[in-house]
Amino acid sequence: MRKSKMTSLLALAMSAILVLSQAGCGSGGKDTGESTAPAAAGTQAETAQEAKEPAEKGDPFGKYEEPVKMTAMTSIATTASATDYENSLWSAKMGELFNIDIEYVFLAAKEQYDERVNLMLASGDLPDVMNVSLTQMHQMIEAGLLQPLTDVYDGYVTDQAKEAMTKDGTFPFDAATVDGELYGIPWVQPRIETCHALFVNEKWRKDNDLPEPDTWENFEKMIYAFADGDPNGNGIKDEFGIGLTKKIWDTGFEATSIANAFGAYPNAWIQGADGNIVYGSVQPEMKPVLEKLAQYYKDGLIDPEFIVKDYDTEAELVTKEQLGAMFGIQWTGLMGSCLQSLYENSADPDSLEWKIYPIPSVDGKETSPVVYDYSSQWLVVNKDFANPEAVAKICNYMHFMGLGPQETGPEGYPELAISYEEWENMWNNDSYRLYSPETEHGNIDRWEHWFQAMEDGDTTWIDSNYLAKDQFYAMQRFAEDGSKMTDNFGEPSISAASWQFTYRLCGQTFMYALDQKEKNNLTSDLRGSFVSESMIENQAVLEDLEIQTFTNIITGQSPVDEFDSFVEQWNVLGGEMITQEINEWHESMSGQ
């Protein structure tokens, strides 16, 4: 594809994204915490459709009188097979409830799938519905291959699904909106759920009479004591204060949060003080971060083998009681099953305690954690498909199955009621779905209700939702009985207890994230799932250069001033062009 065409296409793809980013972010990309969703799908749609008649309301769960055949394509995990999808309980349920007959015409792992999509783009021969990336979707829009879904979204998608998908803003919807028309139903991955926090071995902290890590000074007192004070009591200096992996800016056991505390945002595209979009890893705020990490490494706070470890192998230090703290996403404690294994292998598991803390403050102001929009797939519809509303019915059903009320069915649709046994079999044992956004889980809502019910005993909301109910009563049993708790079958289960011991930290992280969102204190990465031509050509080289340079600085192989040379190289090797492209999108958006 010629450069001019790619630039035009990418400007189209990003203009809507940056509208939201500007509306939802101040200097530095701060998230306002407010949804910018209008009544129609996406912020662009409102202006373009002011003169358009409201979409006719359709039946969100209505069953077709005659079978509707829907050819479909989706990428699948390498561990899945075409047979898994063809025989899926979910596909069968679409036929039973809605008379939608899903026929998968192609299923493959992502690389092979993308190759097939590119061939189809050239021929224009698409199935009725398919999952595609942001770039692929906009190529299809430009080629006139897709059907607008604005009326489908407005007229058929339930309020329950709309609220779940836009509660964290309309970022992925705006990315799919062109000239006021929505062209894809996103697999929404809420940004708020990517917030990182500090995981602390609270038993070690309390046993050593250390202060809570509410300031950077207290945080450093704690991690130095973890590394030097023999908190595991084995008489050997084999403990480390803070976890780290070879990726440095990983989802868990990472240094991203340390950088955020210093006002730096590596591995993120943020809005600079002058309004331009900049890459955080090459900003001057990074230099003191690298200097601090180098000091921690020199002082023995960081595992020297981090340079060859991923988060699963670094997590083994937790299980061996050799690590006192780590930063990471809500499921960090599940990485490598580290906290579960620690609990199950302990002689006294009920004496163990880990706790979530906010990222400590360096300057007395609350640290603003970075959050990412990982929405990377959109369900799109062929322009010639006669029943586009079928995708709305699938979207509605997936959210109903996660958010409830499953026992009675949605209001007015008792025929959708499902027993707990059938629901559990589908939900827990069959992941082979055409569409499955993270919002179907309602994670933060569930945790809010769980914590509230643990305090006041009111389980009304929980009892109406199988997914919430499934975990809540297990949480109660763990709170009462600890390692002696029973599983759902009434049998004593250390594995059930170890899961609850770890899982509660996910909830604590979500509540921290929600608190920061309400305070307008999250910093959003503005790239989302967007990929430019220069990124395709140069990103791998730039990422390798960044990690190698920063690793050398941290381990003392290079002086911290090597950062300045890195910035120059980064710009020459394609970083400057990528930055220019991103800012061209911004200018294109501003001119609309």
pLDDT in tens, 131-170: 999 989 999 999 999 999 999 999 999 999 999 999 999 9
In the predicted structure, residue 50 carries a pLDDT above the cut 70: no
The band of 119, judged by pLDDT with boundaries at 50, 70 and 90, is very high
Residue 113 pLDDT = 96
Residue 429 pLDDT = 85
Residue 30 pLDDT = 58
The answer for residues whose C-beta is within 8 angstroms of residue 445's C-beta and 6 or more apart is 403
Beta bridge partners of 129: 72, 381
Greater model confidence, 531 or 550: 550
Q: Domains of the chain by range and CATH?
A: 35-193+375-440 (3.40.190.10), 195-371 (3.40.190.10), 441-524 (no CATH)
The answer for residues whose C-beta is within 8 angstroms of residue 531's C-beta and 6 or more apart is 133, 134, 135, 539
Greater model confidence, 328 or 532: 328
The answer for residues whose C-beta is within 8 angstroms of residue 412's C-beta and 6 or more apart is none
CA pair distance 269, 28, nearest whole angstrom: 9
In the predicted structure, residue 25 carries a pLDDT above the cut 90: no
In the predicted structure, residue 356 carries a pLDDT above the cut 60: yes
pLDDT in tens, 486-500: 998 999 999 999 999
Q: Go through the chain and tell me how many residues it has.
A: 592
HEC per residue, 293-322 = HHHHHHCCCCCHHHHHCCHHHHCHHHHCCC
pTM (2 d.p.): 0.88
